[in-house]
Amino acid sequence: MGFFESNKEYSARCVGISNEGMGVVRISAPNEKEDGLKVFVEDMLPGEKASIKITKRDTKMTFGEKASSETPESDDRTKPVCPEFGKCGGCQIQHATYACQLRMKESMVRSCLVRLGHFPENEIKACMEPILGAKDQYYYRNQMQFPVEYSREKRCVRIGLFERNTHHIVEHEKCYLADPAAEIVRSTAQTFFSDLSRMDQAKALRQVVIRTGMLSKEMMIILVIRKQVTIDADAFAAAVSDELKKAKNGTRLVSIWTEERPSSVKWKNPKGTWTNIWGETTIREFLENRVFRISPDSFFQVNSKQAVTLYNKVKEYLRFDGVLPRMLLDLYCGTGSIGIFCSDACHHMYGIESVESAVIDARSNARANYIEDTEFFCSKAEDFDFGAMMPDAIVIDPPRKGCDEKLLEKILELAPMRIVYVSCNPATLARDLSRFFQMQTEKGVQYGIKKICPVDMFPQTTHVETVVLLSKNLAPKPRVEFEF
């Protein structure tokens, strides 16, 4: 560890929060940067000072633990509502006031664009709008994935959430981020599959996934299984429906699926064998005056109410200069939610999505909302042949890993007047924008960042959504000299 000793305490000040919710603290020391050695420490908020011990240091990162506080707790610190906070991995910043959470997320977006994207800080500040906070900071998630653990000794299952940085399930009364109806399903499933007569089903169960239309009150359950097994869907549906009726919140079960995913398949691999074992094949959700059908493997924003806030910001950016795009291209479109929501901000829209069931949903959603002049194609966005398409605007909403570099090149070739990038990961957003601006000099096209707006889709966590408007800079027309 060089200058630092593992058994010695050092005075440190917290200057920020990491993407994982750890305090970023600085220790002033010889041979370190002017602002001090950066150390990641649990349970510290910006402005707090503490004595810390170094626990691990390598060439890239240094970690420590808080030994004792040196200053009173920050005014931004609050008591977490969940008794399992700090142990469960679902939330990272529940110990901070919501106003503090919003400031930290704004800072995170700005820092990534400056530090990772290498954009001038004054330019980023000039075009960055205040973060759009959420009205509901709890019970907002419309999708929950509960891992299942089978106990051979007790011959029962435990269904809950993973302990932080482990695959051990935390026993909890309820998750304060989940729709309360999802917790009813979790508890009912735990009792149902712990019955000794259903031991084979319990052993095969890997996850219980619950998707809820927060406004439609329709619910879908997906039972992720290791192997093909017969599940008494009627009995399970009856048990869940009875408990939902007792809660009197209006939620009703309309669909149950199984996804067969063998143990050899990684947890994060989304592909499996899907079977509809009870009820309808989809559920509905409403966003303002639009209705959307959602299949079990289709992407949909996990916070329905904030999705409206996010999509309205996208629509605002599409109308930025007061001229509606003639043709809008919606990439990574999922069930078509952004394009359909913004359909009144363009004349014609094409959507590109690689998940076939999502494309089927998108086409159905367009029909259900009586939207014409809309087409959806099943393809990876980076492999799609855009042919003679000449879009005026492009919306990109990629997964956390960001855009494929090949797609960025294709977008530059299409050269739309406006690009709206919707990102759930500030780090990959900064990387993609940096790549995009490096490529544009080769393509002879010039874009500038006009607006940046963070949107808090995930209160109590470090995750943040960001909407960025890129606008093409038009070269001035050459001056023509006339001779008389």
- Give the count of beta carbons closer than 10 Å to the beta carbon of residue 71: 11
Contacts of 141 (CB under 8 A, 6+ apart): 175, 177, 178, 179, 182, 302, 303
> If you ran DSSP here, which 8-state letter would residue 96 be given?
B
What does DSSP say about strands 37-41 and 23-27: parallel, antiparallel, or unpaired?
antiparallel
Assess contact for 366 and 340: CB atoms under 8 A: yes
The CA distance from 202 to 190, in Å, is 9
User: Is 424 considered catalytic here?
Assistant: yes
333 backbone dihedrals φ, ψ, rounded to 5°: -75, -15
CA atoms within 13 A of residue 464's CA, in its CB half-sphere:
31
The CA distance from 416 to 446, in Å, is 11
- Catalytic position from the list 82, 333, 424, 453: 424
Nearest Cα to Cα of residue 211 among 289, 281, 306: 281
Helix (H) or strand (E) holding 214, with range, is: none
Cα–Cα distances (Å) from 70 to 15, 74, 81, in that order, read: 15, 11, 25
Assess contact for 47 and 14: CB atoms under 8 A: yes
Query: In terms of C-beta density within 10 A (0-12 exposed, 13-18 middle, 19 or more buried), how is residue 19 classed?
Result: middle
Contacts of 3 (CB under 8 A, 6+ apart): 29, 30, 31, 32
What are the residue numbers of the active site? 424
